[in-house]
A and B are shown apart, each in its own frame.
Chain A
């Protein structure tokens, strides 16, 4: 037997992310994850094997050159590292925080076979935060092409498409319906998961690239897409997201104290109602909040409610195994005191004499065979009705695309049932020169998948614009 060469020893465990203590953080809206120190970043970066055929990049919807940027960290070339990321991803400070890396790049990391995968997201965040502290550099742009593009919606898809198109030399105007840019990053994801200063900073970068931003401008009501195309606009990207809340259609849903997740989150995140009356928009939260749903949005609502001082129960109609939220979010929420009630759904809300919700009638569920989503279908159990006391209910059962653009754009093909815009693999819609991507195409999904769609469409739009005379 030949003697094997001794292999370099690799640490199997990841460097843990420093976090605010659960008992402390549940009383504030500051960011939970504190970010690596330089030492921690170097220690974690040292674990990367620098694979010749990196699997992690395949898992990334925007193909960030992961081993290359980690190598830059190893060599302490941070400025070079962030440029490497930004060659593919215009919003690294956001992605480093809210991407589900455990399902994307990190799940493919070969180190995962022997221990923890490299914490790619945390390293990405480290570089993005380093850049924020050191000032960002504006990359060189391609010479002007003379072509003009309109981007509808300043969320993850729109910001990504805008950043790519402007760097390719096109003139870009971005229309945002709300008074602040960022889309779901600003109105949906809470401060403690994604500080708004970070979003403002990422948007400032896009504006520094030269993108013209018009806020408070609802496309479909001010300019319609056909009108834009009649002016000097050569192509349009629609990234208007999925902003229409779903309700359950059960009795009593219009009682006071019953919020859609969107309403509750917009109040808190966009309008900063947690700081009322310093900010003008109020939010009323009772003592016993029930959040209905099991996705990341439900977790955001639950964790925000706890920070506003409530006891929170999550009501989900399937079991723990089917929870669509990120594992990390579920753990964070439970550390902060979230109580989960699985396999139950509401039937009716009862109100008090002032029209405020005071209790809800529910029914227990059991799981049947899988439905079209692949998850086991919940089936109501006869005779299992029960009543829960509550004074605030947040309905977080999903969002669908806002119909305004679809209604005001003749010739735009849509999926009538889901309200989504139909596109080909390049994001091209049924109208020449009009592209779409993100939640408006897929229905509510992740930030990074929307960014990936923005990127794909930008590539196709560039080709379309280059061929157009």
Chain B
């Protein structure tokens, strides 16, 4: 199987979306599932949420933010390049049904996979209010797409450079509007905050956890997440869980387990970039 990158799109600075040829995966992919991507023979296995799929073309798309060695190197790749391996679709699909009036909230790079859910939720008859969040104005993307897919849309940023500043406005919305369901995809701090805001109103809130993963199919257990006091695996029991039950503090702590190593790998890669990288393609 050759996992060829068909197209690339820059969504925001250091944030890209790739469309990859993988017909078997495209045939089965559903919103909420993820892929494990390996970029080269010596590469690591990284989980990336599915953002889109095209069953006719046989392609799947994923978005990523260039933060570590692998995502930075991936960001250098272009249409026509091939990935070492793409495995998926993994994890349980999102529950897509007519809940009634729903709130879909996406932050940063997760705006891309969120909109796949928004689309599916809208198609099943939900009335969808979408909130897009970013750190700064320049990092907010797909606003137009979100507008066409949703009934109502809000934007927000950490510094207030676009839309509302922070998520406090959500508290105001909830005082006057009633929602039957809420979906949040984004950084852990944001998912935690939203879950805390929705809890007093009893709105079922589904978060997409993003623990460290390796195999992504239930073998290693590095992705263990505590949900309602129970140890679950992000990859096979999730990745979506009840936001009111997830131990977010532990999740953040476990996401940082290999931070020093990730920094070393990233620095070394940056130091080497510019030199010949062909040896990393096929060993």
Contacts and interface: CB of A to CB of B under 8 A. Distances in A.
Contacts, number: 115
Contact of B262 (A223, A271, A279, A282): A282
Interface centre among B43, B220, B231, B265 (most CB of A within 10 A): B220
B153 interface: no
A354 B36 CA distance: 28
Interface residues of B, number: 42
B219 A179 contact: no
Interface stretch (B49-57, B187-195, B197-205, B251-259): B251-259
Interface stretch (B82-90, B98-106, B137-145, B171-179): B82-90
A263 B45 CA distance: 13
B60 to A, nearest CB: 12
A244 interface: yes
B149 to A, nearest CB: 27
Interface stretch (B111-119, B127-135, B221-229): B221-229
A404 B236 contact: yes
B66 interface: no
A277 B27 CA distance: 36
A258 to B, nearest CB: 10
A272 B42 CA distance: 8
B24 interface: yes
Interface stretch (B10-18, B162-170, B210-218): B210-218
A254 B43 CA distance: 26
A221 B90 CA distance: 7
A216 interface: yes
Contacts of B42: 272, 278-280
B79 interface: no
Given A179-B87, A276-B261, A402 B43 contact: no
B81 interface: no
Nearest to B91: A221
Interface centre among B1, B36, B44, B90 (most CB of A within 10 A): B44
A443 interface: no
Given A179-B87, A216-B86, A253 B44 contact: no
Interface string A390-409: 00000000000011100000
Interface centre among B90, B219, B261 (most CB of A within 10 A): B219
Main secondary structure of the interface of B (DSSP, over half): mixed
Interface in A162-193: 177-179, 187
Contacts of A215: 1, 85
A244 B217 CA distance: 9
Contacts of B38: 179
A249 B224 CA distance: 12
A291 to B, nearest CB: 16
Nearest to B40: A280
Interface string A276-288: 1111111010000
Interface string B47-89: 0000000000000000000000110000000000000111111
Nearest to B236: A404
Nearest to B268: A277
B231 A263 contact: no
A281 B44 CA distance: 5
Contacts of A249: 231
A411 interface: no
Contacts of B224: 247, 254
B44 A280 contact: yes
Contacts of A271: 44-45, 214
Given A218-B87, A266-B220, A272-B42, A284 B257 contact: yes
A256 interface: yes
Interface string B259-280: 0011011001000000000000
Contacts of B69: 280
A112 interface: no
Contacts of B90: 218, 221
Contacts of A253: 231
A245 B221 CA distance: 7
Contact of B218 (A222, A259, A355, A404): A404
Given A281-B44, A284-B258, A276 B253 contact: no
Contact of B254 (A179, A217, A254, A278): A254
A266 B250 contact: no
A219 to B, nearest CB: 11
A221 B224 CA distance: 20
Contact of A276 (B219, B221, B265): B265
Interface in A347-364: 354-355
A179 B44 contact: no
B25 interface: yes
Contacts of A244: 218-219
B87 A355 contact: no
A267 B218 contact: no
A217 B86 CA distance: 9
Contacts of A177: 87, 215, 217
B46 to A, nearest CB: 9
A370 B44 CA distance: 45
Contacts of A179: 38, 45, 84-85, 87
Contact of A277 (B36, B250, B264): B264
B152 interface: no
A256 B257 contact: yes
Interface of B: 1, 24-25, 27-28, 36, 38, 42-45, 69-70, 84-90, 214-215, 217-222, 224, 226, 231, 236, 250, 253-254, 257-258, 261-262, 264-265, 268
13 contacts: A178-B87, A216-B85, A221-B89, A222-B27, A243-B219, A245-B221, A256-B254, A280-B42, A280-B265, A355-B250, A402-B217, A402-B219, A403-B218
Interface of A: 177-179, 187, 214-218, 221-223, 243-245, 247, 249, 253-254, 256, 259-260, 262-263, 266-267, 271-272, 276-282, 284, 354-355, 402-404
Given A222-B28, A267-B220, A355-B250, 7 more contacts: A214-B1, A216-B85, A222-B89, A244-B218, A245-B220, A278-B42, A282-B261
The 8 closest A-B pairs by CB, nearest first: A282-B261, A263-B220, A280-B44, A216-B87, A355-B253, A179-B85, A260-B221, A243-B219
